[in-house]
Chains A and B, each alone.
Chain A
C-alpha cells in the first residue's frame, strides 16, 4: 500500500513520456522529415487527435502529486527553473499546434512550424533534465543549480531529445505519407545510434556521480534498457515490424523516468492517500485507459487525403 500512489504517479508519468513523447518527437523531427508546409500539415494531422489526450497524462500527474503525495511537491519548487522552462516550452508547443494553420498565409505557417519544432525540443530537453536532476534525490528547499545544470541533468536532457526524436520518427514512418515516411525509415539507424549513445552516456555519468549513487537504489539500473531498446529500434523496422519498433521506442523513452522512479521509491513511499476519495481516483484509472484505447483505435489508420484536419 505505501507504494500504491508512487506507482500511480509512475504510471502517469511513464504514460506521458510514451504518448506525448511521440507527439513531441514528430515535432522535433519535423524540420528534417517533413520538408515543406504541406508535409508538415500531414505530420500535424498524424498526431492531431492524440495531442490533447496525451498531454493530459502529465497534467494528471500534477493532480495526483497534489492529492496523494503533497510532500513531494517540493519536486516542483526544488527544480523551479527547469519546471518553468518546461511549462513555457509546452505552452509554446501547444500554441504552435493550435494557431499554426489559422492564417491563410504560408509565411505564418513556416514561422509556427519552427516554433513547433523548437518548443518540442525544449519540452524534451527540460523533461529529460528534470529526470536527471531527480536522480540526485528529491530536492528539499531552494533549487540547487549544480544539480539542475550539472552533467547528469544536461546529458539526460540531450538524451531525451534524441530518444523522443527516435520515437517520433517511428510514428512518422507509420502514419505520415511518403516521402516523409521514407525519410523517417532512412533516418532511424542514425537516430537509434545517437539516442543510444547519449542515453548510455547519461547512465555512465550517473554511475560515476556520487550524488546519484547515493540517492538511487541499484534497482535503477533497469534504465540500461533505454539505450539497448533504442539500438534495437531501427533493426525491427528494417525487418518489416514497425509496430515492434514503436514498442521498443516506447521502452526507450520510458526507461529514464522509470529508472529514477524505481531508484527513489524507497524515499517516496509510506504516504497515505485519503481512503474514500482514493478509491474513486483509482477507480477512474481503468475508465481512463478504456477511452484512451478508444481514441487510439478510432485514429489507428495513417493519414490519407480523407483524414480530418485541424492543426
Chain B
C-alpha cells in the first residue's frame, strides 16, 4: 500500500472514531445544561441526580473525544504537509481559532465544572456548563469552516503556489461550512436525545427504582430527539442548494440533477450513493417513528410499555451508523480533491515514506480503537449502574467510603493536610 492510501485510511479511521465521541459531546452538553438549570431553579434533588448521572456519561465520553482529537490535531502536520504548503495559512486559520478560542475555553471551563461541584455558587457552576456548551459548538463551527474551505475554497487567492486569505468574511460564511453546521447541530442533538432516552428506557424497563428521574429524562430525550431528527434531514437536504453548483459530481451521485455537469476532473466513487441512502433512511424513519412515541410521553404511559422501552434502548447505535455514513458521503464525495479544484489527494501527502505512515497507522489504529471500545464498555457499565453512586460531584470522603478503602484504613480517618508536613 502506498503512503497516500495508508494516510487516508488513518485519517478516515481516526476522524470517524473522533466524531463518534464528539457528536455525543455536542448532543449531551445542552441537555445536561437543561437538567442543571432545572436543578438550580427548583432546587429539587431529582434534577441534581439526573445532572450528575448523565453528566458522568458525558464526561467519560468526553475523554475519548479529547484522546482521538489529539491525533486529529497533529495528523495534518504529520501526514498531510502538502495541504500546509499550499494553503497552510488559510486552512490553519480556523484551526488556530478553534484551539485558541473555542477549545481552550471549553477545556478550562469543563475542568472547573467537573471539580467545582458543591464548591462553587450554584449559578456560577451552571454558567460553566453553559460556557462549555457554547464553546463546544464554536469548536464545531471552526472545524467545519476549515473543512468547508477544503470542500469549497473561498476567501483566498493563490499567489505563486500558496494561498493567502483575501476575504475573511467569505471564509467564515462559506455556504459549504454553514450548511454543514446547520445539519450537524441537529444531528448531534438527535443523538443526544436518543442516548438519554435509550438509557432512561433501560432503567424503566429493568425497574431499577428511579422511575421519577428516568420518566423525566426519557421525556426530554424523546422530545429533543424527535424535533432534532426533523431538522437533521431538512438541513441535510438543504445542502443540495449549493452542492448542486459547487460539487456537482458528488451531488449527481446522490440525486437527480436538473442540469448537465461539465466535469471538473475525475468523479468520486459512485458507491457513496449507498451510505447516503442509509443515512437518509435512518434520519427520516427516526422522525416518523419518533412522532408515534410522543403520546407515550404523557404522564407515565411509557412505563409499562416494555417492548417500546426495549426498542428505544436497542435503537441507540443506529444514529451513529448514520453519522459515519454522512462523513463518508461528505469526504469520499469530494475525492480526488483535498482542496476542491486546487490540490489532489496524492499531492497533499507529506514526503514521509509508506513505512512511517504504516507505523503511525498501526500505533494510532490500535490505541484509538482499543480505547474507544474500552470507553464504550465503561459507558455501558456506568449507564447500567444507575444514579445511586455517581462519582461526578462526589467528595473524596464520599468516594472513599464507597470504595471501602482496600487497605483497611477506616473511612472516617481524616487526611492530614499537605501543608503540615
A interacts with B:
yes
Write the residues of chain A forming the contact surface with B, with a CB cutoff of 8 angstroms.
36-38, 41-42, 45, 48-53, 55-56, 59-60, 62-68, 70-71, 73-77, 80-81, 83-85, 87-88, 90-92, 94-95, 97-99, 101-104, 106, 141-143, 173-179, 181-182, 185, 273-274, 276-277, 280-281, 284-285, 288, 291-292, 294-295, 298-299, 302-310
Other than the known A37-B407, A63-B97, what 19 A-B pairs have Cβ atoms closer than 8 Å?
Answer: A59-B103, A60-B103, A73-B81, A83-B74, A83-B78, A88-B364, A91-B368, A94-B63, A102-B391, A106-B406, A143-B352, A274-B89, A277-B96, A277-B168, A281-B100, A288-B105, A291-B108, A298-B119, A307-B115
B395 touches A307 (CB 8 A): yes
Chain-A contact segment, one of B25-33, B64-72, B249-257, B335-343: B64-72
Are A305 and B360 in contact, with the CB atoms below 8 A?
no
Cβ contact within 8 Å between A178 and B416: yes
Of the candidates A97, A101, A173, A181, which one forms a contact with B391 in the assembled complex, judged by CB atoms under 8 Å apart?
A: A101
- Partner of B409 from the list A38, A49, A63, A285 (CB cut-off 8 Å) is A38
- Closest A residue by C-beta to B420: A178
Q: Kindly list chain B residues whose C-beta atoms are within 8 Å of the C-beta of A74.
A: 81
Q: Let me know if A52 and B111 touch, CB within 8 A.
A: yes
Q: How far is the CB of A305 from chain B (nearest CB, A)?
A: 4
Q: How far is the CA of A295 from the CA of B114 in the complex (A)?
A: 12
The answer to whether A62 and B359 have CB atoms under 8 Å apart is no
Question: Which residue, of B360, B400, B418, has the highest number of chain A Cβ atoms within 10 A?
Answer: B418
Q: What is the chain A residue whose CB lies nearest that of B117?
A: A308
Question: Distance in Å from the Cβ of B2 to the closest Cβ of chain A?
Answer: 16
The interface residues of chain A lying within 8 Å CB-to-CB of B208 are: none
B152-179 toward A: CB 8 Å interface, digit per residue (1/0)?
Answer: 0000000000001100100000000000
* Contacting pair B382 A102 (CB below 8 A): yes
Q: Would you list 23 pairs from A and B whose C-beta atoms are within 8 A, ordered by A residue?
A: A38-B400, A45-B396, A50-B111, A51-B111, A53-B108, A56-B108, A60-B103, A70-B84, A76-B77, A83-B74, A88-B364, A95-B64, A97-B63, A98-B60, A103-B378, A103-B381, A175-B418, A178-B415, A182-B421, A292-B108, A304-B396, A305-B395, A310-B392
In angstroms, how far is the closest chain B Cβ from the Cβ of A117?
18
**B96 and A63 contact, CB distance less than 8 A:** yes
Within 8 A of A (CB), among B190-232: none
| A308-B85 in contact given A66-B91, A68-B92, A88-B367 (Cβ < 8 Å) | no
Verify if B40 is at the interface (C-beta below 8 Å from A): no
Contact of B363 with A by CB under 8 A: yes
Write out the residue numbers on chain A whose beta carbons fall within 8 Å of the beta carbon of B69: 59
Give Cα distance in the complex from A97 to B111, angstroms. Answer: 13
Identify the 8 closest CB pairs spanning chains A and B, nearest first.
Answer: A70-B88, A98-B63, A63-B99, A66-B92, A76-B77, A67-B96, A67-B92, A302-B418
B143 to chain A, nearest CB (A): 11
Residues of B within 8 A of A106 (CB): 403, 406
Query: Is B317 on the interface with A (CB-CB < 8 A)?
Result: no
A274–B163 Cα gap in the complex (Å)? Answer: 11
Given the interface pairs A53-B108, A84-B364, the reply to whether A181 lies near B73 with Cβ below 8 Å is no
User: Taking the nearest CB of chain B, how far is it from the CB of A54, in angstroms?
Assistant: 9
Q: Which of A38, A92, A291 contacts B405 (CB 8 A)?
A: A38
B278 contacts the other chain (CB 8 A): no
